[in-house]
Amino acid sequence: MRKKVSIFNEVLGPVMHGPSSSHTAASYFIGRLIRNLLDDEPETVNIAFAEGGSYAAVYSQQGSDLGFATGLMGWLITDERFFDSLEQARDFGLSITFTVRALEGDDHPNAIEIRGASKGGREIHVNARSIGGGAVELWRLNGWEVHITGDAYDFIVDAEGHEARKIAKILAHDGEVLREPSIEERDGSALVAVQRLRPLDEAALNKINSAKGVRSIWKTRPTRFPKPGEPLFHSGAGLVEYAEKEGCSLGDAALDYESALLDIPRGEAIDEMWRRYEIMARAVEQGLEGEIRGMQLLEPSAQKIYEREERGDLAIGGLHTRAAARALAAMHVNSSMGVVCAAPTGGAAGTIPGVITTLVEEKGLEKIQTVKALFAAGAVGLVLATRGTFAAEVAGCQVEIGAAGAMSSAAVVEAAGGSVRQALDAAAISFQNTMGSPCDLVQGIVEIPCHTRNAVAASSAFVCADLILGGYINPVPLDETIDAVMKVGRMLPRELRCTSLGGLATTPSALALKRKR
């Protein structure tokens, strides 16, 4: 089955506290789903990270512990109490512990095993993964294989095998399901699971509760948009075919895609994208104000660079430098655990905001043009998410900041009135120039070299767009380029995939840096 990738769910989102979508936002979403499954106030939760995995190396530095606590408490991901969530959890009688050990049956670098108990005595044992850009998967529940991703109302019933088909019929009785219920049978028992668009009505729930042989019922609520529709395309080639058939731009094609997938009006999708732009713009504004506190290794520099460029104190200056400074500004907010929009990840949350705010402020983009430029960026991201991943733990920095640079290049072409093919070619050559870049963050902190890589990616987006609009003919299309990026990413050793065990992270100067908090 092909992936159903949503631009809002997986590409330009989530809106989150920084610094990492894979380790901060995903932890929140997993915590929120665990709370749902317990169906009560949690009392004890042990979270085990895979020995040798990425979580084990960075969970404290990247606020994973705070993300889990905030989700387990049932708060919003943007709640101001995020910073105090561990202390607040203890005050509410919730014990959260973290361990690092070997995890059986899962070799994913972001593998997690969770054991939880509620105040009412319910216990659960869950295996989960953070799979990039804030997306998550709970794949085992109390020994049963499941598929919980947070974009549906999940209903899961453990019952005697002879009741399974009856229960499945009740769960899907109104047709409000994303797909038909699944039934897994084992030793006379069965697990019936369904992903629904809406909660199960009370009458149907009462029927299941009163059915003979029902042992347990688990429910979750969506943490992201449900996806009742079907993708209009899955690839760059399919995107070009759709846009040329409809006579529309890349941004319009992506807007059509998201509206159809989420089954929402175009106007609603436009408003949601504008909301995300406002969050991006606010992060840039905050970062340029210079009142940044909370970074762990770096001193804020975005404001200084921006002001010196304005005074003409730099060697060259210009739009490219201002875009870079704006990207740095958003990353300062991200690393201070401020509220940002992952684009497509937390570690890449500066590039697209830097580019889009530059287009708005210096090229006079209006609301609909801004929204379509962001949708154009999202179109490139959904092709990568469909064919690969945004997880640096899997394929290095090339699929995070590299992806943001490619997405931004397409956005610039869209804003300039270029064709769909030109926008995708600009994205392709951007990817071709970041291919192979490792994720070697210093001390497990999303600052060095992440901040300058975001800044350079923002600046280079304008160069890639100009190269294509000026006449460069790209010989390797986006789909093939992304496939090559993924192959290279899988060749990278574990040390270069978000473990801080190679690259810049192991240099003497990097190791000697003193943390500010």
Measured on CA atoms in the order 260, 264, 265, 270, is the torsion positive or negative?
Answer: negative
pLDDT at 192 over 90: yes
Average pLDDT over residues 158-168: 95
Average pLDDT over residues 230-256: 98
Strands 95-101 and 42-50, by their bridges, are parallel
Residue 484: the pLDDT is: 99
Preceding peptide of 475 cis, ω within 30° = no
Structure tokens given for 162: 């002879």
pLDDT at 3 over 90: no
Residue 219: the pLDDT is: 97
DSSP 325-359: HHHHHHHHHHHTT-EEE-SS-GGGTTHHHHHHHHH
Residues 197-241: tens digit of each pLDDT = 999 999 999 999 998 899 999 999 999 999 999 999 999 999 999
88, 65 Cβ separation under 8 angstroms: no
Residue 377: the pLDDT is: 99
Q: Rounding to the nearest 10 degrees, give the CA dihedral for residues 181, 184, 190, 193.
A: -30
Cα–Cα nearest to 128, from 213, 217, 30, 35: 30
DSSP 289-314: HT-----SSPPP-HHHHHHHHHHT-S
Average pLDDT in the chain: 96
Q: What is the distance of C-alpha 283 from the center of its chain?
A: 17
Q: Dihedrals φ, ψ of 212, to 5°?
A: -70, 145
Residue 405: the pLDDT is: 99
Residue 205: the pLDDT is: 93
Average pLDDT over residues 466-474: 99
| Burial environment of residue 235 by CB neighbours within 10 A (0 to 12, 13 to 18, 19 or more) | middle
Average pLDDT over residues 474-483: 99
List the single range of 21-30, 285-294, 309-318, 349-358 with lowest mean pLDDT: 285-294
Percent of the chain scoring above 90 in pLDDT: 94
Residue 1: the pLDDT is: 62
State pTM to two decimals. 0.95
Residue 38: the pLDDT is: 98
Structure tokens given for 466: 């100009």
Residue 132: the pLDDT is: 87
7, 239 Cβ separation under 8 angstroms: no
Residue-range domains of the chain with CATH: 16-220 (3.30.1330.90), 236-512 (no CATH)
pLDDT at 2 over 80: no
DSSP 401-420: HHHHHHHHHHHHHHHTT--H
Residue 463: the pLDDT is: 99
Residues 487-507: tens digit of each pLDDT = 999 999 999 999 999 999 999
